[in-house]
């Protein structure tokens, strides 16, 4: 689903270095990269109806989780593209975050602003991959 009104977002990256000692010495070997892991969190402002739809898709049914993940977004991997831009048409600064194997771990309870059925909702998740091994890309249009 596409959601606008992002209030805040955070993404973390861990290369999970594997460190082990050299054979028959006190020194360590050159650290090796392990499986990359990305953690992320996004807080969005949206209409209450959209929040309800997202929650129900996450659970796989209305108002409560299924006993299994069948039919629910929980535990399933997806692909995510986030595009950001700042500036005017001639000097845009752009960034893309492209991660895959994304799992939504939790969705926070919607916080009602009290007007026009607008709510604030937080999503937390993780990922273990990047599209074409390029997770982050940024540039300036001149």
Dihedral over alpha carbons 1, 114, 106, 123 (to 10 degrees): 50
> Helix, strand or coil for residue 101?
strand
- Examine the pLDDT at 79 and tell me if it is beyond 70: no
Average pLDDT (23-31) is 83
At residue 50, what are phi and psi to the nearest 5 degrees?
A: -65, -40
pLDDT of 3 over the 60 cut: no
Render pLDDT for 7-23 as a digit per residue (tens, 0 to 9).
888 888 888 888 888 88
Backbone angles phi, psi at 116, to 5 degrees: 55, 30
First to last CA, the chain: 32
Q: Which segment, 23-27, 53-57, 61-65, 78-82, is predicted with the most confidence on average?
A: 23-27
Question: pTM of the full predicted structure?
Answer: 0.66
């Amino acid at each position: 689903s596409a959601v606008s009104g992002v209030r805040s977002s955070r993404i973390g990256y861990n290369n999970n270095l594997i460190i082990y000692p050299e054979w028959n010495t006190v020194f360590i070997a050159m650290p090796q990269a392990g499986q990359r892991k990305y953690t992320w969190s996004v807080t969005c402002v949206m209409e209450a109806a959209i929040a309800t739809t997202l929650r129900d898709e996450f659970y796989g049914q209305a108002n409560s989780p299924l006993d299994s993940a069948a039919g629910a977004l929980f535990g399933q991997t997806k692909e995510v593209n986030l595009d950001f831009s700042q500036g005017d048409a001639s000097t845009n600064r752009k960034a893309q975050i492209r991660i895959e194997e994304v799992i939504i771990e939790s969705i926070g309870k919607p916080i009602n602003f009290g007007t026009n059925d607008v709510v604030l909702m937080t999503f937390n998740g993780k990922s273990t991959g990047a599209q074409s091994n390029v997770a982050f890309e940024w540039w300036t249009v001149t």
